[in-house]
Structure 1
């Protein structure tokens, strides 16, 4: 009987040893193919998990950098993290800005050395099937506004993640949502 690989269980080896040599070799080769397929699949899964973790880390670094740059009033770095065709949506219904429009709003603050500080926590990042688009939601703490929520989309362009859309919102607790809605309606009607 030919040499048996160490990974073949003893019970299988006993059965195989009673078979004609050609049948025995067929089963050994089959077991080797199965093992190679399993190992290849395992390697692929590990690679995919590793790639996903690396992408999530990169997206988190970009988002953390967005917040850090804003807090430091570092306009050059801040806007370099956005795609040229990005959109920023603020807390007011009128605040839907292209990057150029958002710069017009932000630069007077940044030029004075004042930005805005939001401390992110509880972030969730999701990816498209091809791994080139990510979307997220995060809660943020701000001294003036309290808890806010950021949501948005990033796209991987030429190997770099860029913010395509960022939406800052103020979550309203359900217990006071009616009162807040009434205040908004009053402002819309012109009454304060």
Structure 2
């Protein structure tokens, strides 16, 4: 019973850290990355589909991406999706290939993005702490129902706290790595 609670807490904490990693791939750094446009949806014959299902996205060089739609008639739809996104990028079309040039980030923009990264990190820490709270609450309910001893409850709470500390450290490491990536010129 207690092992299941710990295992569930660990799984949920790891998911919180992975969700943070995934969210931070969308934050634009000075370097081009295909993850920058992964979340875009393209109107393809009346339904919205992910960009990766209608085109090939590649990193041309450190500051540009190329998008090659598989069908010529959806080039316009891909351009519209890029323009409508919150990326603030302008696509350049040459025939069937769409190029996106990433301008260098200003110092002010880098600092804004760093603040955003820290905010996302804090949200992930809150999620981890909520998982800890839920797990400890389950342990206390078992203790209240006299299904476990006080020693078992104390030991399990300590182990859950260690899992929480590790997850918070992982979040800090992810945030620090992204911050260094942002501040690198």
Could you tell me the TM-score, scaled by structure 2's length?
A: 0.27
Could you tell me the TM-score, scaled by structure 1's length?
A: 0.26
Larger strand fraction of residues: 1
Q: Which has the larger radius of gyration?
A: 1
